[in-house]
Amino acid sequence: MQVRLKDIAKLTGYSITTISRALAGYSDVNAQTRAYILEVAQQLGYQPNGVAQQLRRQITNTLGLVIPANAHDFSGDFFSQLLRGISAEAAEQHFDVLISSARSEEEELGIYRRLVGGHRVDGMILARTRRRDPRIAYLHAQKHPFVVAGRAAPDEPSDFPYIDADSQAGIRLLVAHLSDLGHRHIGLILPPPEIAFTEYRLLGYQEGLRAAGLPFQPSYVTHSDLTRGGGFHATQQLLEAHPHLTALIAANDLMALGAMSAAQERGLRVGRDISIVGFDDIPAAEYSYPPLTTIHQPTYETGRRLTAMLISLIRGEQPAQSQIILECALIVRRSSGRAPNYSEGGDA
């Protein structure tokens, strides 16, 4: 069924070698034979077998991405934007992206072994770094090219190429913004502690409080899934225990959206009775009600740059920068407002 070099060889009378070299444009094949061969190939609809090429050339022009088992927010905007950036840049450089889904934590490393050890991909992209991340340990040991969206936790070495937002500074900005509005009781909804960036966000929170002269109340902090549902439940629980909280910081926008729903369900007007802010600036943040105050993170661009970095590594080049911390920008929208019974000074 499928046309192979051998078929073209048989039809034209030339050897497989010559066919291959003609198609590849080598100069050691006569211009006329080359034209003839090209025409026959065209005629037959020849399409080189990519798998055979991969085997022979020992490169795949493919990047791997495995979806972690517990990435419940995979279909959320953060992952989608990242993937869009990755696949855009990959296409630009003639790479494909191989995606594999882990069904359980245990299965995850097996997939990395299959893709990397099995030579299915030339490089890997990881997202959502974890504490003592076994995936990173494995890739390090294999000396296989990889890049990571997000550095390691502060107390671990980040000895790998990554791009990460300066979320510590980002959360500080949020705390400053809220305390400027008069909030003194600010809750924090974090993802599970095993996620590497959790610690940075907690640090930023503590630093922000200190800068504002506010005490750190451990019970104002809770952990939950990075999803709308996670934010919803965390908020219910937090407001149940501490009804006097006037502001909530969620570690990502998805949770913030859930938090807004939970607050609204309690009859609170978000932006007036309670301020809720997020992190990421996903597209939905601008269109939520009320529009979400948040920290902007260029996720699509991160995907692109990460991919460009990875492809450099694969090519054996030294990327200009291999550890990038991106500045964060505060985006003030209407989900944050003056604290309810705040009056001392203020001009609006």
Partner DNA sequence: CAGTAATTCCAAATCGTTTTGGATAGTTTT
Partner DNA sequence: AAAACTATCCAAAACGATTTGGAATTACTG
Q: Which residues bind DNA (CB under 7 A)?
A: 2-6, 13-18, 20-21, 23-24, 28-31, 33-34, 46, 48-49, 52-53, 55-58, 119
Strands 123-127 and 96-101: unpaired
The secondary structure of residue 154, as a DSSP letter, is T
Q: 203: burial class by Cβ within 10 Å (0-12, 13-18, 19+)?
A: middle
Helices (H), 45-147: 50-57, 77-92, 105-112, 134-142
Using the minimum distance from each CB to a second copy, give the nearer residue, 68 or 192. 68
The single residue among 115, 175, 234, 245 that binds a second copy, judged by CB under 8 A, is 115
Min CB(285)–DNA separation in Å: 47
Question: Phi-psi bin for 61: left (phi > 0), alpha (psi -120 to 50), beta?
Answer: left
The single residue among 33, 44, 119, 192 that binds a second copy, judged by CB under 8 A, is 119
- ω before 157 within 30° of 0 (cis)? no
Min CB(227)–a second copy separation in Å: 9
Tokens of 250: 């969620």
Which of a second copy, DNA, none does residue 28 bind (CB under 5 to 8 Å by kind)?
A: DNA
Judged by CB under 8 A, which stretch of 69-77, 148-156, 195-203, 210-218 contacts a second copy? 69-77
The single residue among 6, 103, 140, 315 that binds a second copy, judged by CB under 8 A, is 103
Min CB(5)–DNA separation in Å: 4
* Phi, psi dihedral angles at 205 (to 5 degrees): -65, -50
Which of DNA, a second copy, none does residue 179 bind (CB under 5 to 8 Å by kind)?
A: none
Distance CA 279, CA 191 (A): 12
Q: Tell me the CB-side half-sphere exposure of residue 232, using CA atoms within 13 A.
A: 8
Min CB(66)–DNA separation in Å: 21
Tokens of 140: 């390090």
Helices (H), 181-217: 197-212
**Site for a second copy contains 151 (CB under 8 A):** no
Min CB(315)–a second copy separation in Å: 18
Residues lying near a second copy in the complex (CB under 8 A) are found at: 2, 45, 47-55, 60, 62, 67, 74-77, 79-81, 83-84, 87-88, 90-92, 96-103, 113-115, 117-120, 228, 257-258, 260-261, 283-284, 287-290, 300
